[in-house]
Amino acid sequence: MNQMTELYEHAIKWSPHAILATVIKVEGSAYRKEGAMMLFGKDRQMGTISAGCLESDLAIQADEMLEEEIHSQTLVYDMSAEDDLGWGSGAGCNGKIHILLEHVNGLLRTNLVTALTYVAERREVNLVKILNEDRQVTDSIVSKFDDQTTFDQFTMNMKPKENPLYMLINPYQKRFSFNMCNQKNAS
């Protein structure tokens, strides 16, 4: 839990020159699981996503996002390709890793501040992000775990082909739970 709150605190400090990277899906094997996070800022980074095989490329992608003011994007790294000499070669990664990159500004920054406030109050927190079919964040919300009404109203307003990304932060545990749901919404 300390690593996540420290990462959020730095994201807020580095904002608006920060990109938050989150592993949202792993197919096959990888060193880090869903929910692993890393932070990129101007000429600095914090945390890890892999055993070193993705961080350099992610730093380049983060720099481009900051330059072009891109709000969010999802990258997929296929580490299982047998003919690929670079990705995951000998590093123990043998799967596909889906990573959500988000510019820490506006709503995301506000949500991180709110989440840290609730955690400091020792309250469980729901952090929900809505991703469109291109896996870009279209909306997000932070609510206290016991505030189910706000949470339900937010997810009811989802459009077809949007998927929720749930994170439950429990300040009494040293970990958090993470879940990417694939809705079968009709078009």
User: Over the chain (187 residues), what is each successive 10-residue block's mean pLDDT?
Assistant: 84 96 89 90 91 90 94 91 53 80 95 93 89 90 81 79 85 69 47
- Say how far apart CA 4 and CA 165 lie, in whole Å: 17
- Does a structural domain hold residue 173? yes
76 and 35 in a common domain: yes
- The answer for residues whose C-beta is within 8 angstroms of residue 88's C-beta and 6 or more apart is 53, 79, 80, 94
pLDDT score recorded for residue 65: 96
Task: Give me the half-sphere count of Cα atoms (radius 13 Å) on the Cβ side of residue 105.
Answer: 12
pLDDT score recorded for residue 22: 93
Cis peptide before 164 (omega within 30 of 0): no
pLDDT score recorded for residue 91: 52
- Does a structural domain hold residue 187? no
pLDDT score recorded for residue 175: 58
Given 49, 74, 103, which residue is the final one in a domain? 103
pLDDT score recorded for residue 81: 63
Number of C-beta neighbours around residue 84 at 10 A = 11
pLDDT score recorded for residue 60: 96
pLDDT score recorded for residue 182: 57
97 and 9 in a common domain: yes
Tokens representing 61 are 């992608």
117 and 72 in a common domain: no
- Does a structural domain hold residue 186? no
Given 103, 128, 162, which residue is the final one in a domain? 103
pLDDT score recorded for residue 153: 78
